[in-house]
Amino acid sequence: MLLFAQMKHSLLALQIGLWFHPGAVGALVLTTEPKNRHRGRRFKGSLSSSLMGQSSVASPVSLSSSNDNLVESLPVIRRHQRHSVFSETNVVSKFMPFPHRELCRRSLPTPPPSEVHQRKPNRRFWEFPFHLENENEKRHDAGPVSPLLRKDVRVQFDDPTIGAHQLLERCGVIISKNDERSHLTSETITAEETETVEHLASVLSFFQSVAAAAESPSGTSNNVKCMARIVSTVGSSGVKCPRWHADHVPVRLVMSILGPGCDYIQENISTEESRRLPRIVNRRALNSLDVDDTMKANDIIVPPSLLYKGRTQGEGSNSIIKHAREGEAVLLMGRKWEDEPAAQPPELEDGDALYSNLVLAAVHRSPTLMPYQERILLTVDLVD
């Protein structure tokens, strides 16, 4: 017992000595990391060996420097595997309106009789009960949204033509007389349907040509496996994501075949001052905000003061928040392709300015829709 007590006393003394020894304290400081409050991001105090092999990093910077110096020299981890179209910006768009708009309306869901009865033919839009709904608000006038006001169809593909045919057939846009989907002839579908299939195939191919950088960096093949999705809605059921957010994907195509497109905020790292877009997104709030109310959250993520400041620097009131047009294929770069600071940014009041030399994920949201407004939305993603 005496020997055991002496050993216990020695161990306790050794532990106390380690805690108070100057060298031990220094070691503790080096190995202790602050709690990461940025959900979805991976800030690091030093560069990992695995990232060093695939990234180019700027020279280190002292955190005691001025903000301007920090903005210019904050070490950056570049994501080389992303497509070159995102070398300086996080949004790329191409206007590709569908040739037969009315044909695409075949995919719209049919409202139930109760909804049709409530919708008077001569009623003006301001006579409908109108709600700016968010994630936690409920429809008090008509109860929950009927599933018949929403149709969701998904198809995996690697060949864009076959994928386009399958997707449009399952949506009811084309009516094929033959189950053999790999042979598109004038005997199976009409000329208008053939043009619609070909047009959708070109949109899918447009996405594949950019997304292939994630699967085939050498660019040897664009036929990567993707998931195409068409969501046809009537009314507020088409407002899927009203809160500003960024997607946890390499890249996503968002295109409104019918109805308004998404709202997005484009950013760039142009070296020309005249072409540089102002940064108005509070990235810290975007990554870690815990607020249920969508309207309040949106005002925190995109503060009205920064939005006003950005408009005064831009070229018009719509130069900061973009509203995609019907038929505009928008490629939104996601978090998996965004740059990272090689070191934890300091906690400064205007710390978000430190991100100005990074290409970060595109922030976007669903548009506000009127009651009974029709919308057909196409999204395309890579298959994991």
3-state secondary structure 121-156: CCCCHHHCCCCCCCCCCCCCCCCCCCHHHEEEEEEE
* pLDDT for residue 189: 83
What is the distance between the alpha carbons of residues 63 and 45, in angstroms, rounded to a whole number? 12
Higher-confidence position of 260 and 146:
260
What is the distance between the alpha carbons of residues 264 and 206, in angstroms, rounded to a whole number? 20
Number of domains in the chain: 1
Would 153 be classed as within a structural domain? yes
pLDDT interval class at 132 (50, 70, 90): very low
Query: Among residues of the chain, what percentage have pLDDT more than 70?
Result: 59
pLDDT in tens, 215-236: 766 655 688 999 999 999 998 7
Would 36 be classed as within a structural domain? no
Would 19 be classed as within a structural domain? no
Within the chain, strands assigned E span: 76-77, 91-95, 150-157, 226-234, 251-258, 263-265, 321-323, 328-333, 340-341, 363-365, 374-382
pLDDT interval class at 25 (50, 70, 90): very low
Would 195 be classed as within a structural domain? yes
What residues does 226 pair with on adjacent strands? 157, 382
* pLDDT for residue 327: 98
Whether this prediction's pTM lies above 0.75 is answered by no
pLDDT at 30 over 90: no
366, 240 Cβ separation under 8 angstroms: yes
pLDDT at 145 over 70: no
Strands 226-234 and 150-157: antiparallel
Would 128 be classed as within a structural domain? no
Higher-confidence position of 271 and 325:
325
Mean pLDDT, to the nearest integer, of 24-34? 34
Q: Where are the alpha helices (H) located in 172-303, listed in sequence order?
A: 191-215, 283-288, 294-301
Would 346 be classed as within a structural domain? no
Would 365 be classed as within a structural domain? yes
Burial class (CB in 10 A: 0-12, 13-18, 19+), 246: buried
Would 303 be classed as within a structural domain? yes
* pLDDT for residue 157: 98
For residue 222, what are the domain limits? 84-119+146-179+188-339+351-382
pLDDT in tens, 169-191: 999 999 866 545 445 554 578 99
The CA-based dihedral angle spanning residues 108, 109, 112, 114, taken in that order and rounded to the nearest 10 degrees = -40
173, 196 Cβ separation under 8 angstroms: yes
* pLDDT for residue 115: 52
* pLDDT for residue 320: 85
* pLDDT for residue 346: 57
Token code pair at residue 23: 């060298």
Query: Among residues of the chain, what percentage have pLDDT more than 90?
Result: 44
Residue the block writes with tokens 């995609």: 324
Order of strands across the sheet that contains 321-323 = 321-323, 263-265, 363-365
